[in-house]
Amino acid sequence: MRLLKLVPENTNIHFLKWQWPTTIISVLLMVASWTLVFTEGLNLGVDFVGGQMIRVTFTQSPTAPVAALRGEIEKLGYGEPVIQTVGSPNAVSIRMRLPHGAESNPGLSDQMVKVIRADLTAHHADARVDGVDSVSGKVSNELGWTAFKALGFAAIAISIYIWFRFEWQFGVGALVSLVHDVSLTMGLFAVTQMEFDLTIVAAILTILGYSLNDTIVVYDRIRENLKKYRRMPMNELLDLSVNETLARTIMVAATMLITLTALLVLGPKVIFGFSAALIVGIVVATYSSIYAAAPMLTWLGVTGQSFVPTETPQDRQERLARGEV
């Protein structure tokens, strides 16, 4: 039996030939992502803005009556609900701001949930309430802040680690490529307006880990080759390193994408957004480990000499003593 090879042996694709077009595309995509995040905004879940979220499944209907629901709930006088389907078309999440004065009197929000629940069952016999989340403004602020801290610290800590293990240029390159990956994932959430909640932060932290993982594998090979082929031109060496690790890069991305697609399609709808974020993140991370991480090194001035140990006066004496020039 012949073994399956996702990438043929001796593949030699000139990736770096495309470094300028891809760089321009990457930069444009990043700018677009952040522009969207700031103009359209993220569809933040109750975890981050506070409020009530009620998850409902309409067990007998193929699709949830979103428009009808919106009208019914608006009539209740608690303000405008945010209603969107979650995972499957017959399941929705209904988000409401906490009623005025609920911070000091929690009974008010309980009352609201009770009224909405009663209204739901009155209008839709097949409505099944799957869950209720209620987050006060105070807790949501904290959650947002801690999530932000976790992301920031993780990015910095990992970059510092890479700086120590490699050279500072590698640390910068890794940081840039991970900012790229995280930005594009945020962009996805701004475009699709999928709900951005705490599990998505977990997804982004994972993408961060994966992005660096991918970058490190390529960097590790670049370092090895830099020591091996000191006179090879930098672009050629980067191409060689990327090609040598390509089989692994594709194989791992494939396995991750297979498991995640299984999770997206077959898994529980509650983690639909989580799986979607990871899928996009992994595709982007794979791309950036080739097109952002590698070229960054040449721009930052990594050369064949970067890993040659600097000669101390003692080394020099020994060398001269051996009779070498």
Partner 1 sequence: MLDFPVWKRIWVWALTIVVAACSLPTLVTQLGGSWPSQLPNPQVHLGLDLAGGSQLLLEAQPADVAKQRLDTMNETVRTRLREAKPRIRIGDVSTSGGRLSFLLEDASQVDAAREAILPALNGSGSVREWDLQVVDGSRFVLTQTQQGLEQAVTQAMDSATEVVRKRIDALGTREPTIVREGAKRIMVQVPGLQNPQQLKDLLGKTAELQFKLVDTAALQSDIAQGIVPPGDEIVPYAAGTTGAGTSIAVKRLGGIRGDTLTNAQQTNDPQTNEPVVSIQFNGQGADKFGRLTTENVNKPFAIILDGQVLSAPNINEPILGGAAIISGSFTTQSANELAIQLRSGALPVKLTVVDESTVSAELGADSIHKGAIAMLVGTVIIVLLIASAYGRFGIYADLAVIINVLMILGIMAVFGTTLTLPGIAGFVLTIGTAVDANVLINERVREEQRRGRKPFQSVDLGYKEASRTIFDANITHVIAATLMFMFGTGPIKGFAVVLMIGIVTSVFTAVLLTRMWVALWLRRARPATLKI
Stretch 239-258 residues interacting with partner 1 (CB under 8 A): 244-245, 247-248, 251-252, 254-256, 258
Buried b (16+ CB within 10 A) or exposed e, 290-317: bbbbbbbbbebebebebbeeeeeeeeee
- CA atoms of 216 and 167, how far apart (whole Å): 12
Which range, of 66-74, 75-83, 147-155, 297-305, touches partner 1 by CB under 8 A? 147-155
- CA atoms of 109 and 149, how far apart (whole Å): 30
Query: What residues does 225 pair with on adjacent strands?
Result: none
Number of residues in the chain: 325
Which of 14, 17, 100, 165: binder of partner 1 (CB under 8 A)?
A: 165
- CA atoms of 209 and 268, how far apart (whole Å): 24
- CA atoms of 169 and 289, how far apart (whole Å): 14
Task: Provide, rounded to whole angstroms, the least separation between the CB of residue 38 and partner 1.
Answer: 24
Buried b (16+ CB within 10 A) or exposed e, 164-183: eebbebbbbbbbbbbbbbbb
131 touches partner 1 by CB under 8 A: yes
CB distance 174 to 219 below 8 Å: yes
The two beta strands, 43-44 and 195-196, are: parallel
Query: What residues does 54 pair with on adjacent strands?
Result: 94, 132
Task: Provide, rounded to whole angstroms, the least separation between the CB of residue 215 and partner 1.
Answer: 9
Scanning residues 193 to 232, which ones bind partner 1 (CB under 8 A)?
Answer: 198-199, 201-202, 205-206, 208-209, 212-213, 216-217, 220, 224
Task: Provide, rounded to whole angstroms, the least separation between the CB of residue 91 and partner 1.
Answer: 9
Which of 73, 143, 190, 242: binder of partner 1 (CB under 8 A)?
A: 143
Which range, of 11-19, 28-36, 145-153, 291-299, touches partner 1 by CB under 8 A? 145-153
Scanning residues 97 to 116, which ones bind partner 1 (CB under 8 A)?
Answer: 106, 110, 114
Task: Provide, rounded to whole angstroms, the least separation between the CB of residue 135 and partner 1.
Answer: 5
Which of 26, 57, 298, 306: binder of partner 1 (CB under 8 A)?
A: 57
Scanning residues 273 to 312, which ones bind partner 1 (CB under 8 A)?
Answer: 274-275, 278
